[in-house]
Amino acid sequence: MRHTETNVKINKKPWPLTTIRGLRKRINTNPDFQRPAVWSTSQKQLLIDTILRDYDVPKLYWRLLPGEPKRYDVVDGQQRLRAVWGFFDGEFALPKNAEPVGDLPIAGKRYQDLADGLMIQFDIYALDIVVLEDTDDDEVREMFLRLQNGTSLKAQEKRNAMPGKMREFVRTLTGHALFKNVGFANTRLNHDLVAAQMVCLELGGGPTNIKNSDLNKMYASNEGFESAGKEAKAVKRVMDEMVKVFPEKTPELERYNVISLYCTISELINQYSYSSIQPHLHDWFIDFESRRRHQDELDEDQADAEWVSYREKISHTTDSADSIRARMEFMLRDLLERHPDLPRKDNLRSFTHVQKMTVFRRDKGLCQVRAKCSGEKLTWDNWQCDHRLPWSKGGKTTVENGQVACSSCNASKGDAT
């Protein structure tokens, strides 16, 4: 964490709850470094019970914004403020088993149901507010992280409070149309997490570790990230293509699926004739997910071994490089089996790794040329992927035009068909 000289002015004073209620429109509980509201009803009830019994509530920290009338960003204490306002508004009642305060019952009561004495006691209860003046964004973010140290902030919520251009770029990505169509909500900044993982994948040049520790390093080492740079443009390009493929809300787009699809579509754009496959991706993926769910319903000894392996990859260590690569390659192989005529980009001569895997499995590792052998059974480390119609004669680099060949048969065949 940075340690900097600061000219922050600190003003501490008690604010009655009725005053805080009256200033509600001037208090922003959701500045962009804050996490969303996460308190449960029982947590809110406990705070109100604490106030009614005149127990101490920890200090709240607000940042005074420039201009008039005075407005504030909540640096720490937004959950407490939301609970107080919610109780004033009658959004929840106290527990039905709550003990009386003195001789006055509070069980099951909302604010408007309290006895006059308790209502007044609640109104005049003072929260200790620490107002920060003359602060810049980085100072406020650093204070937020310090105040949250040891609490249950999730890793992405902490990263969202880090200074720098990387955080700003990730935040802008969450406004992309893609996140309107995914099947998971932005609970605890899940959209920010996935956006950050996409950027990490792009910086890594493909499947790489995107665990929290890796994302923390990315944020720390890219404070000056260029939002108009090559990697930023590549992320946006893939996300744009994903919206074209999924233009509407798609419940099948779960968090791990979005990452797998991001890598798959990125690979298609970079290695294959993408425009020819793009119109088919939506229906292929929906069918892929349907088949996955069917396999998941089978007992492990009845399910296809490769689907069982895929299930493992989406259930454990989903943010590791090995898991992401395996999921991407499984998706690509499934897609190439459905569309074996998909050519490499610009008809490059060499087959991709996934094309080779698809050809090898389709041909069961048996030499298809049979010029010098009778269909020898080959191992993965000892075979060659041959063009049925030679590349020199216009043969395309597709699964359809590929075949397993032993080295002797491939050398003998040469440019022959």
Single-letter residue type at 99: E
CA distance 11 to 336: 65
pLDDT band at 141 (very low <50, low <70, confident <90, very high): low
Paired tokens of 366: 């048996």
Q: Is 302 helix (H, G, I), strand (E, B) or coil?
A: coil
Task: Count the Cβ atoms, other than its own, within 10 Å of residue 352.
Answer: 21
pLDDT band at 354 (very low <50, low <70, confident <90, very high): very high
Mean of per-residue pLDDT scores for the chain = 89
Judged against a pLDDT cut of 80, whether residue 342 lies above it is answered with yes
Q: Which residue has the higher pLDDT, 30 or 84?
A: 84
Give the mean pLDDT of 117-124: 94
pLDDT at 140: 62
Single out the residue of 260, 334, 263 nearest to residue 295, CA to CA: 334
pLDDT band at 34 (very low <50, low <70, confident <90, very high): low
Please state the domain extents for the chain: 9-153, 158-338, 349-413
Sheet holding 60-64, edge to edge: 9-16, 126-133, 60-64, 72-76, 27-28
Q: Which residue has the tokens 């149901």?
A: 113
First to last CA, the chain: 65
Single-letter residue type at 393: K
pLDDT in tens, 177-195: 999 999 998 877 889 999 9
pLDDT band at 202 (very low <50, low <70, confident <90, very high): very high
Judged against a pLDDT cut of 70, whether residue 59 lies above it is answered with yes
**Cis peptide, bond prior to residue 247, ω within 30 of zero:** no
* pTM, two decimal places: 0.65
pLDDT in tens, 36-50: 667 889 999 999 999
Q: Is 404 helix (H, G, I), strand (E, B) or coil?
A: strand
Give the mean pLDDT of 168-178: 95
pLDDT band at 2 (very low <50, low <70, confident <90, very high): very low
CA distance 310 to 354: 16
pLDDT in tens, 310-327: 888 887 778 899 999 999
Give the mean pLDDT of 409-414: 86
